[in-house]
Amino acid sequence: MRKFITITTLVIVLAAALLFWWRFYFVFGEGVKAGELNFVVRKGYVFKTWEGRLIQTGYKSQVPGSVQSNEFEFSVVDEALAERLKVSGGMIVELGYKEYLSALPWRGNSKYIVDTILAIKDKPGPGSPY
């Protein structure tokens, strides 16, 4: 009986660890988003994390007849990357990111984690065709 309880406990602990890894550390998707960097801030009560928002061009709407901008909210784990983004507010940026199934408090508030900056460009001035 003792052997059965030990094996059952081991299987349950292993299954819980596998489920935790799949839920919080498995990379569900990777991609690139481009748009105007709205802000990057460091915030949090216990875990200070870098959070940002990217405004993408175009409009989408859940309800016909209404307008809503495309916003991409993300977290940044790398301190140097966050500092570089912090001084790029208002510029057009291309960001590489990883998507997880859920967020962790010490990793950020978002399930989207930016891990690379592909390009940073100044916003075109008024009267520019581009």
CA distance 25 to 18: 10
Q: SS3 for 47? A: coil
- C-alpha 99/C-alpha 27 separation (Å) is 6
Other C-beta atoms closer than 10 Å to the C-beta of 82 total 19
> Which option is the CATH number for 28-121: 3.40.1440.10, 2.40.50.140, 2.40.30.10, 3.30.70.2860?
2.40.50.140
Q: Which residues are bridge partners to 98 per DSSP?
A: 30, 113
Between CA 123 and CA 88 the distance in angstroms is 11
Strands 92-100 and 27-43: antiparallel
Give the start-to-end residue ranges of the domains of the chain: 28-121
* pTM (two decimals): 0.78
Each residue's pLDDT expressed in tens, for the chain with a length of 130 residues: 899 999 999 999 999 999 999 999 999 999 999 999 999 999 999 999 999 999 988 766 666 666 666 899 999 999 999 999 999 988 999 999 999 999 999 999 999 999 999 999 987 766 655 5
Residue keyed to tokens 């507010």: 89
Task: State how far the Cα of 7 lies from the Cα of 126, in Å rounded to an integer.
Answer: 69
